[in-house]
Every structure is written in C-alpha cells, then in structure tokens.
Amino acid sequence: MQPRTIDVSALWPKIRVLNRGLVEIPGAWVNPFTVSGDGRLVFATIHTDDWAGVAAIPTDGSGYTRIFQFANPDMDQVTGGSFDGRWLVWSESHDPADRGDWSIRAWDAESGQVQTVAEAPRKDGRTIPGPFVFPTVDHGMVAWAQTSPEGGREIHLYSLADRRDRILAAGDVGRSPVTFWWPYIIWQVRDQSGPEDRAGRVMTADATTGEPVEPTPAPAAIRHLWFMAASESVLAWTDGGILWVWRPGEAAARAVFRAPDGDYIQFLSIAGDLTTWDGVTGPWVADLRSGSVAKLPQLYGGRHARGTALLVVEPTSQVRSRHPPLRIRFADVGQFEPLPTCASSTPETD
C-alpha cells in the first residue's frame, strides 16, 4: 500500500482560517474536549481563580456558560465527551491515579439541567480496575463500555429521556469505544479463543431499542478494532496501525493510511471529508477526497472534530505542567479545498 502524503506546509493556506477562530477566555485555562457539529460551541474544562468545571464556549467570542462545577478542582478532570446538538455527555475522572474512579454526566442544552448518568462500579467499597470510560451521545441516547463489578466488560445504552440503562453485552467485550452510526450502535466482541491482539467481530444493534441487527458487509468483515468513528456518509476504523474508511454503497473498505513504524492511530473523529486521529507526537488528518494525509502542528497537540467543525489544540510550551498553555483554534472544514495529492509513501512533516 502506497498512501499519498503531503508536506504539512501545504496545510498552511487552510490553517489560516483557524486564526480567525481563536478561542480564548482572559484569565482562564481552557482545555476543550469536544465541539458541536455546526461549530458554534466548544465544550471545555475551565479553571479560573474562583471556579473550575465544564463550560460551553461560543466560537463567536461572546463569552461562555458555566455548565457544571467540579467538586474537587484539584482532582476532577474530563477524560472524554460528546454533543449531539441538545445533549452534552462527558466522563469525569475523580483521581488521576485511579482510572476506575469516574462519573458520566449529561447536560441538557434546552433546560440547562445536569444529570448523573452512571457512576463507577465498586466492590467492597473499592473501585474496579479498568480502562478509561468514553461515553458518546446521539439522538438523546448515551453509550459506553465499562468494567463490571465482577471485573469483566459491559456495553451500556442509556436513554436520557426516560433515564433507562440497558446492558447490551457483557463478558469478553472489546476495549474500543462504542460508536453510534445512526440508527445503529456498534461495538466489538473479542473471540474467546483469539490471541491477545483484540481479534473479534463487530456487533450492531438498533440504537433506540438495543435489539441486535445484522451488520452490513464492510463492518462485518472487521476482525481487529481499536477505534472507530462515523458520520452520515463515512465509517472509519483502525486496528491501531492502518486507517480504513468505507462509504455506504462501496463494495469494500479502503485502506487509506498506514502509520509509520513506532507510531499508531487512535481516537478517530470525522469532520466533513476529513478523518482525523492522534498519533504518538500529535494529530493527523486524511482528506478522503484526494487521498492525501498530513500531520497537523504542533508537537503533542490535539484536535476534535464533528459535523463540519475542526478544533485544533496547540501547546505553546513543551514544559510539563498541570495547566500547560494552549492555543485553541476553530475552523469550518467546509471552507477547505481538497488537500493536494502526492505519491510519496512516507509521511512528511515540518
């Protein structure tokens, strides 16, 4: 496979759009964790001298709305979140040294109310060791994978309308985050006799009822799933080393990028025709129109994508600290022309 790649300098004419969408709050440390699909709101943790918690920040620069105050600002932090246009959900870690101590909360943008969706299971008063919890929301339904009280894995589907929680699967469930591909929900079940490389099969269910649905051929062919992302027109996934994409109507999925030796592909998200992910040293982007791939600046930066919104987070210092200085820039990728094509097989960066 020879992925087409470009030098990151080819992105600069497009990155300039971000300079007109700088997200700043004077006197506050802002760390975003998701963005609305229309690009109007950034959701972030905010720390000021007198307040710390979750907030909604309009990208037009008109201030911000406090959503939820942390009970323990020195310990509480958001590890992941999602917004479906009405509901914001996020996972809240209460101890940086204990991934098993978490809460899932939801904010209703219409009523302004916050509810607690789930709390970490405990056994004999102690948390259960397990990976981070990454909830996702779509059409008022919340889904996530978590550790069970017995130490196994569970897939949960929660209705925010009637506050009903259902366990869709339990046992040898894959560690990859659950994905909504409306009207479906997708997760992985590992082969009982498979090796320790997450080999398994994809499961699909109705996202409203939780009833099993036969997966379409492309997802059904997946055997190694690390992360997945979906939009109305694209399904993307990775086994950690190769990025695959599939559009409904295509005969099979396409491998569009292979991570260089020593790198990997994780935390996929989609904005328009751009599929984005995090690598070892920072974020990457693949343009599905041209097939080009590029590494975004800066070193150890990040990005969030949904709908047509792309949010780029750039550290302005490589000095380690609890609240490192960040530059947060927003763009509507609908303004981007396709990235130019190139036949190089080795990703080039600045």
Question: Can you give the pLDDT at residue 9?
Answer: 54
Using CA atoms, how far apart are residues 262 and 285, in angstroms rounded to an integer? 18
Question: Can you give the pLDDT at residue 192?
Answer: 62
Using CA atoms, how far apart are residues 128 and 202, in angstroms rounded to an integer? 26
Question: Can you give the pLDDT at residue 313?
Answer: 87
φ/ψ (deg, to 5) at 13 = -60, -25
Per-residue pLDDT of the chain (350 residues; tens, 9 = 90+): 445 555 555 555 555 555 556 677 888 999 999 999 998 999 999 999 999 999 999 988 788 999 999 999 999 999 999 999 999 999 999 999 999 999 999 999 999 999 999 999 998 889 998 888 999 999 999 999 999 888 889 999 999 999 999 999 998 787 678 999 999 999 998 776 555 555 788 999 999 999 999 998 899 999 889 999 999 999 999 999 999 999 999 989 999 999 989 999 999 999 999 999 999 988 999 999 988 898 876 677 889 999 999 988 888 877 676 777 788 888 888 878 888 775 544 444 33
Using CA atoms, how far apart are residues 165 and 84, in angstroms rounded to an integer? 18
- A 10 A CB-CB count for 349 gives 15
DSSP 237-305: EESSSEEEEE-TT-SS-EEEEEPPTT---EEEEEETTEEEEE-SSSEEEEETTTTEEEEPSSTT-EEEE
Question: Can you give the pLDDT at residue 5?
Answer: 55
φ/ψ (deg, to 5) at 164 = -110, 130
Q: Answer yes or no: are the C-beta atoms of 329 and 22 closer than 8 Å.
A: yes
Question: Can you give the pLDDT at residue 124?
Answer: 87
The sheet carrying 235-238 orders its strands as: 227-230, 235-238, 242-246, 254-258
Question: Can you give the pLDDT at residue 328?
Answer: 85
